[in-house]
Amino acid sequence: MKYYSTNNQNLNYSFREAIMRGLASDGGLIMPYYIPSLKKSLINNLNNLTFQEIAFEISKLFINDKIPPNSLQTIIEKAINFKAPLYKLNSNTGILELFNGPTLAFKDFGARFMAQFMNYYVDKMNNKIDILVATSGDTGSAVASAFYSIDGINVYILYPSGMVSKVQEKQLTTFGNNITALEIKGSFDDCQNLVKKAFVDKDINEKYNLTSANSINIARLIPQSFYYFEAYKQITNKYDNVIFSVPSGNLGNLTAGLFAKKLGLPITKFIAANNINNAFSKYIKTKIFKSNPTIKTISNAMDVGNPSNFIRILKIYNEKHYSIVKDINSSYHSDKNTLKEIKHLYKKDNYLIDPHGAVASLALKQYIKEENPKNYYGVILETAHPSKFNDILKNILNINVNLPDSIKHSLEQKKISTKLSKTYSLFKEFLLSRE
């Protein structure tokens, strides 16, 4: 398996190079030349495989470096050491709960997988690396937790001031040590632009051995494909149509699902659930992609006006819109309707869902109403623990969400961050001034 730049297919990389670089030398994203296929016998035998065994089999297909099987198994065991249960909401709808990792968000899957591989490679190379990561919420805390105190790796997390929840901010700003939190006076897209510019800045690269922990890094996407298989395994009956509704911001989670489908998982349809940051939803309907300024919403991890992984989706489908819409539907939903859906699920089904999952639930319902698929099972991806949005849920449901011990601990810690403007020259000056 070789990897290439989305800007130039003649630029190619090994798996190790792809992970350690994060971004191609020409600023493009890194993609596999093809997405391999799992054996049908393995897919038919998912019920007899553990989550870690599924992850091991998929990982082998994407790795072209000579990692001994026992070392790969150890990496998987350390990274994927929590569950992804499918909660049965009703006879044809399930909610895939992806918040059972250490920071209570789906980003733990990708962050921990990447951290373990980078730790393996850094140890083998006897080298140091520096990670730049932009976050709209949960990525920052997951990366901070996954990389905390790993020797030879320093992490710089850029997050938009005032645009992440209180819990999310505490989770990503209270580590210290090898984790530096940068509070940027701008949007997530501004944070992402700073990261991208740094990657192609000669002065920065002379000082730092840079890589990224965003979903621009292919190592984030591969492990996110694992839980689509784990979800499918838990659908106990046969259905003609299996549909995944995916909260979509930077489109990494959706892209990972498309990887799973190309690997051979029989998924009928993906629904890209947008909030009012709906550039992708508009593309699906109009064939025209136009980035937009980011708008702040209650589903903040989806507040992305210019999703990076859009280019990866184009590459998967050879930039053919008609092929994309065969597999992907999309709709967007307001904060007002998101709040209504949270209330509805709590009162009708006694299920407490976070705003991102609520958007996915709305999108699934709209698709079912409009398309009327036969003998279907819909899976809603619940990407964060509802306690991360306690203030929102308390206001609309008049309840206090029980806080897990890990969040209580984070809230008790002192915030450690540096405020910077979104001006690249000042960000560059800050990085170059670091010892």
Q: What's the pLDDT score for residue 123?
A: 80
Question: Tell me: the pLDDT tens digits for 83-120?
Answer: 999 999 999 999 999 999 999 999 999 999 999 999 99
Which of the residues in the chain have pLDDT under 50? Answer: none
Q: What's the pLDDT score for residue 106?
A: 94
Q: Which domains does the chain have, with CATH numbers?
A: 82-104+220-397 (3.40.50.1100)
Alpha-carbon distances of 71 from 60, 121, 148, 400, rounded to whole Å = 12, 11, 21, 44
Q: Which residues are part of the catalytic machinery?
A: 107
The label of the residue with tokens 């030349």 reads 33
Give Cβ neighbours of residue 389 (< 8 Å, ≥ 6 apart): 165, 167, 298, 354, 355
Strands 328-332 and 129-134: unpaired
Strands 153-160 and 129-134: parallel
